[in-house]
A and B are shown apart, each in its own frame.
Chain A
């Protein structure tokens, strides 16, 4: 038997490495102990799987080091030993309801061993491409598949590959954008950590198609485990002859290296990424010329996102037509989402395009934490927007999501409940884009700052009439005046929250109230004398002695002293503290 511990970054953060050590100390010769990447059920981490050959016998969840005894007991023949730590049928459905292509090996194979990848048809697509297809045929197959850029913009992949192929030049580059900067998104990290060879294979096929001799992966510096596993995978692929000169005995040669980013959101924009690769400040270039004509070191270059490449080997093995049977008219294949926020079952979800937001959030994600009311889902990070409850049946498709004012984005899906203030959400994103603006374009650099100042005022209760209109005016001028995607989309979080939650802005500005009761400056705390039992707990917990009263008599809060920390409200057992 084989005991497999899920060691993605999330799993390790949840304690998987400690579980592994505990198992290692006890396992002896009773089973083989190994690791895998991220299966994507983050809400159940740490996860341990027990296999017999290729058959999954048990999936054990929320494992603590102290559970090692039970696991060892099970592999030694006690069939009931792990009954209380086994995954429930309801949680199993989280995976069963998905269609996995980009993530097909994640959480199943050991990402540190190339043999496990090749045992799953790994590098067979590369072999097929190099020995039986011309570069033009590869591009045609991608065209048939309908694969579009998974980084967010959804530009047809074949078109970019073809442009780079057609471009004149003696030396071309293929670049993978793994600078996953959207706060709230971790799809690409999971692919690199869990299935690095799939990325390498997809990139090699892309390099063959465009005629590139060199490939570079630009990875976020905040992903040390991804960098470590990819470095290891590249070395293994070189050793086995999948990378380097005369790959698989053909005339195709390609080398690959990693460049660790240094932390700048704007480097997710392809021309800024190229500047960064050249050791410069990551400031976008004017397009045209497009990277396909003049990119890295001003040579023809093609840049795709990790998830885009992760689909390529599957398409080459199964055919573009099979890929295009999934999805909608305008969006083909599957999409991976990182489902997080106020959600019961957070994790990685890969589904065919055409499913609805409701399918993902309620059917797969199990609905809202603590059965609270769904308020909105944020898609596309700082470039995207908030989609409200009445649009939950929107289908997942580039066009349909774009029509809501949000975007498909790279896959961040942050769920919010009634306790999330939408004005403060807009403020949060503007704070982010104002900090991350590279400063090249005046509208973006100064406009986002002015918008942030207005939002800061509104959440403090200092909003003025006309603020909403002023925000909108700034939004449109930034969209018009910014050179790159970061600036052009920076106003989206504000525009969508004004569009769908204008009443919240108005309540902040006109009534100086926060309907979600999240903006501290707009709250008042008081004690309901009818409910207060005079237990004195609130007075003891108050850090500034703002609460007075005697035992068994109703207490009261001195509003002038109150710092609105919420300690009284959180500690009252009778629900007597009223927040308004």
Chain B
């Protein structure tokens, strides 16, 4: 896996438009971070330092906000981000079995990425599709009424899709 520590230099010019728009607007830090994550796919540390400087705040403050909210991630994610719903309805209807199936198929647990950089698993609180539970969302697609076998099949199809490119 490529090194993802802060020694890597991010292209700070990419976020210039966002900063031009929000840097001087009070209370915009979360919005800036959301935009930054959209641009870089995650929040690289050097980008966080840059944001702190531009909004006239401290790196500690920016890091504090970035680590408070579950939406923000400090590491790159795979091509497919699996958001596995762990809401109450999904829990009652067997989301742990789906989590196990994902582990069996991909060898990753919550927060981990496969070695080939293809899949990242993230447990989320509730996707709000409770009547289709258990549910997972991969990139923008929602998959409902999952069984362990169905979940594995979906992952295999995505892998195939990626390999065929």
- Residues on A lying within 8 angstroms of B by beta carbon are 9-10, 12-14, 42-43, 45, 180-186, 189, 221-224, 259-265, 276-282, 297, 338, 340-342, 346-347, 378, 381, 412, 414, 416, 420, 428, 432, 436, 438
Contact = CB atoms under 8 A, between A and B. Distances in A.
Contact of B92 (A180, A182, A221, A414): A414
Contacts of A260: 31, 34
Interface string B113-139: 000000000001111111111010000
B132 A184 contact: no
B28 A279 contact: yes
B45 to A, nearest CB: 18
A378 B130 CA distance: 14
B128 A414 contact: no
B27 interface: yes
Given A13-B144, A412-B88, A420-B92, A279 B125 contact: no
B126 A183 contact: yes
Across chains A and B, which 5 residue pairs bring their CB atoms closest together, nearest first?
A42-B131, A183-B87, A184-B88, A262-B69, A13-B142
A420 B70 CA distance: 28
B33 interface: yes
A313 to B, nearest CB: 24
B73 to A, nearest CB: 11
Contacts of B143: 13
B27 A277 contact: yes
B12 interface: no
Taking residues whose C-beta sits less than 8 angstroms from the other chain, chain B's interface range is 35 or more
Contacts of A43: 131
Contacts of B33: 262
Contacts of B91: 183, 428
Contact of B68 (A13, A259, A281): A281
5 contacts: A45-B131, A181-B125, A189-B128, A279-B65, A414-B92
Given A13-B142, A189-B128, A277-B27, A262 B64 contact: no
Contact of B93 (A181, A222, A261, A342): A342
Nearest to A493: B88
Nearest to A346: B131
Interface in B59-88: 64-65, 68-72, 86-88
Given A183-B88, A184-B87, A338 B130 contact: yes
Contacts of A262: 30, 33-34, 69-72
B151 interface: no
Contacts of A276: 30
Contacts of B29: 279-280
A183 B72 contact: no
Nearest to B28: A279
A10 B145 CA distance: 11
